[in-house]
A and B are shown apart, each in its own frame.
Chain A
């Protein structure tokens, strides 16, 4: 079974500061990993994904994440936070076993940007 743990249900940073959202995964097979962002009353938008290619993945809106197998982590970062980054962020894992399985999500991290 696969699972995702996101440390910190709420993260608050100042505008212009570094954003770091933590994600650790558990998977019995090499995983596909994803970060999604959700704005209030909207669906999920894909930020970036890791599918066993480069371990440093660049996504939209200046976000990037690094896959570290030894730490079973896939933390999301952005060098300089913007007010528009305030949202809910979900880390998710998908089994690459080939079955048409859905995503297993972490509980989410609410990112707060202080002016």
Chain B
């Protein structure tokens, strides 16, 4: 009965090698979010989709992109990962804007 699924749970990539993280939901929620959480820090919003409308946070690096091909799936693309991009990446969904957010288990990204 998993509601927000993230794959893979652990991802290792090389410096500069593009990587894609996946998130899917069975809740049929309208809004999907991506957060970055570095070690011992609070999650930080990168961007979100409200249906098909993409909203980028002002300080999200251009290196980070996102795609939402349909209601259920959302992808985070890191075009050229740097060592500073190593973090836990959390996907969340909410039924409506400002509503309760439900989080997936996260993907821990390691950059070598």
Enumerate chain A interface residues (CB-CB to B < 8 A).
32, 34, 36, 41-46, 49, 90, 94-108
Contact with A along B4-41 (1 / 0, CB 8 A): 10100000000000000000000000010101000011
Q: Given A41-B108, A46-B103, 6 more contacts at CB 8 Å?
A: A49-B100, A98-B98, A99-B98, A100-B97, A102-B35, A102-B48
Instruction: Enumerate chain B residues within 8 angstroms of A44, measured Cβ to Cβ.
Output: 43, 90, 92, 103
The reply to whether B103 and A101 form a contact with Cβ atoms under 8 Å apart is no
Choose from B44, B55, B98, B101 the contact partner of A96 (Cβ within 8 Å). B98
Choose from B6, B35, B102, B105 the contact partner of A46 (Cβ within 8 Å). B102
12 A-B pairs (CB sep. < 8 Å):
A34-B100, A43-B4, A43-B106, A44-B103, A96-B98, A100-B48, A100-B97, A101-B97, A102-B33, A102-B45, A102-B92, A108-B40
- What 5 A-B pairs are tightest by C-beta distance, nearest first? A102-B45, A100-B97, A100-B50, A105-B42, A43-B103
Residue B81 is within 8 A (CB to CB) of chain A in the complex? no
Instruction: Enumerate chain B residues within 8 angstroms of A41, measured Cβ to Cβ.
Output: 88, 106, 108
* Nearest chain A residue, comparing its CB with the CB of B97: A100
Known: A44-B90, A105-B42. A100 touches B98 (CB 8 A): yes
The reply to whether B42 and A42 form a contact with Cβ atoms under 8 Å apart is no
* Nearest chain A residue, comparing its CB with the CB of B102: A46
Known: A95-B98, A108-B42. A100 touches B108 (CB 8 A): no
The reply to whether B105 and A43 form a contact with Cβ atoms under 8 Å apart is yes
In the bound complex, how far is the Cα of B101 from the Cα of A95, in angstroms? Answer: 13
* Nearest chain B residue, comparing its CB with the CB of A97: B98
Nearest CB of A to B104, in Å: 5
Known: A41-B108, A98-B97. A90 touches B103 (CB 8 A): no
Choose from B42, B44, B90 the contact partner of A43 (Cβ within 8 Å). B90
* Nearest chain A residue, comparing its CB with the CB of B100: A49
Q: Please report which residues of chain B, range 68-96, place their CB below 8 angstroms from some CB of chain A when the two chains form the complex.
A: 88, 90, 92
In the bound complex, how far is the Cα of B51 from the Cα of A86, in angstroms? Answer: 37
